[in-house]
Chain A
Amino acid sequence: MTTTDCVLEAIEIRKTFGPFEVLKGVSLEARNHDVISILGSSGSGKSTFLRCLNFLETPTSGSVSLHGQEVEVRNGKPANPRQIEALRRRLGMVFQQFNLWTHRTVLENVMEGPVHVKKEPKAEAREKAEAFLQRVGLAGKTNAYPSQLSGGQQQRVAIARALAMEPDVILFDEPTSALDPELVDEVLKVMQSLAAEGRTMIVVTHEMGFARQVSSETVFLHEGRIVEQGPPDEMFSHPKTEVFERFIAKVK
């Protein structure tokens, strides 16, 4: 790595499922305060790529490094599981289906990581968790269970849960795709305010508005490869490839 402010770097990530090569060597670099939107149609491999960054999918080959610390993959297996756990502690993740723990309250969901993974004192973690819940506009829901919340509220809890780990980068995997249309905005607003705070984010999304207005960089994935990459305004107004042009036309 050459630039010093590079936070997360993925090099030549490949992933095959059986006979299908889903990712054919994808590289990406995220610097501090970057908000990178990853676009692509169904089956382009964008979610798989995001999940390779924190090893929820193990890449077939390639490497991921955080602040220059590399997690290497040999023969389709990570060399050291401890390395992966350490990496995940510093990468937040927000899922399409929220994936809140249904057996724990909102507050417990947010405190779980700080208390049991980072081993912070409970009182301190609780204070912080309450602050993060307030941050996403859910201060009043601390003792509710996930099933008592709307989808938008659940996703905001999931964002607070990711924030509570004080991650270096937050990964968003289609965070609004499972939401009813009228609930999308409340989640996008929270994400926008996080971007304004200068958080480093990588977002797989179908929300073109978000990609254009909020992100500092957009990446278009097609059939397992990065086809276009650059500042969103330029990319959207002057698509260089036919596939991306067709993609924009379709989602408009």
Chain B
Amino acid sequence: MLELFSLGDTGWGDEILRGLLVTAQLAVTTLPVGILLGFFAAFASLSRFVPLRALGVGYTTIMRGLPEILTLFVVYNGVGLLLNSLVQWLSPEAGSIDFSPFAAGVIALGMVFGAFAGEVLRGAFNALDRGQIEAGRAIGMTNSQVFWRISLPQVWRFALPGLGNLWINLLKDTALVSVIALDDLMRMTKVAVGVTKQPFTFYLLACLIYWVLSVLSELVLAAMERRANRGVRRA
């Protein structure tokens, strides 16, 4: 039984580890993209400029209402089609090109993360204590000093639990890219199942690996929250 999971030619351990690596790469690459999009979305939806606000609210509302897998297909097929027609238009004799599933995964999952993060950050900005911002302005801070030294550290504190949940959702959502043929943990598991004919064993293994990642993330996030909340609650 353990033979199945060994690392050499006989077992599937190394294939599954390679898949895990792709999953981790995908999640880690998507995270900054998603957070950046989240900030843009939050700023847009808090903006006083109506078209910008409509854009922000529209993006977060629509994106959060769509199945992630649909977003993934839209990006994968849509951007693929767009790229191909662009290439055709630039040089008609060139063959068709393939849009990398990894890039599609980063864009689609980043857009999803960004929409949810936009809501989390908007809430965090709204939760800021006006008085503390005024105290900064009252000692003559510039607007950018107030933002970087008072607002942002506190927004971070308010947003951390929400962003932490989104990170765990992101980890789980990476499994979707197996459907567009990216060799992540889920897809390598599927390959192993195809050969060994032991679907329950291998899908259970995959579940356990995701579970470990989630629980580890929760532990790290709890430590980060404790750090961010230094001094906020009574000791």
Q: Which residues of A contact B (CB under 8 A)?
A: 54, 56, 85-89, 91-93, 95, 97-105, 112-113, 116-117, 144-148, 158, 161-162, 165
Contacts and interface: CB of A to CB of B under 8 A. Distances in A.
Interface in B42-58: none
A146 B231 contact: yes
Contacts of A161: 135, 139
Contact of A148 (B129, B141, B150, B234): B234
Q: Interface residues of A: mostly helix, strand, loop or mixed?
A: mixed
Nearest to A146: B231
B142 interface: yes
B131 interface: yes
10 contacts: A86-B140, A92-B139, A98-B131, A99-B135, A100-B135, A112-B139, A113-B140, A113-B141, A145-B232, A147-B232
A87 B232 CA distance: 31
Nearest to A55: B137
Given A89-B139, A103-B157, A95 B134 contact: yes
B235 interface: yes
B131 A99 contact: yes
B234 A100 contact: no
Contacts of B145: 116-117
Most buried by A among B139, B153, B232: B139
Contacts, number: 81
Interface residues of B, number: 24
Contacts of A99: 129, 131-132, 134-135
Nearest to B142: A85
B129 A145 contact: no
Contacts of B142: 85
Nearest to B228: A103
Contacts of A98: 131
A102 B232 contact: yes
Contact of B138 (A54, A105, A144, A145): A54
A100 B132 CA distance: 6
A95 B131 CA distance: 8
A-B interface, 3 closest residue pairs, ranked by CB to CB distance from nearest: A145-B231, A89-B140, A99-B131
Nearest to B235: A148
B132 A102 contact: yes
B178 interface: no
A166 to B, nearest CB: 11
Interface in B130-176: 131-132, 134-142, 145, 149-150, 153-154, 157
B234 A147 contact: yes
A95 B135 contact: yes
A85 B135 contact: no
A7 to B, nearest CB: 17
B214 to A, nearest CB: 28
Nearest to B231: A145
A202 to B, nearest CB: 13
A157 to B, nearest CB: 11
Given A117-B140, A145-B232, A147-B232, A112 B131 contact: no
A103 B138 contact: no
Contacts of B138: 54, 56, 88, 91-93, 95
B150 to A, nearest CB: 6
Contacts of B135: 93, 95, 99-101, 158, 161
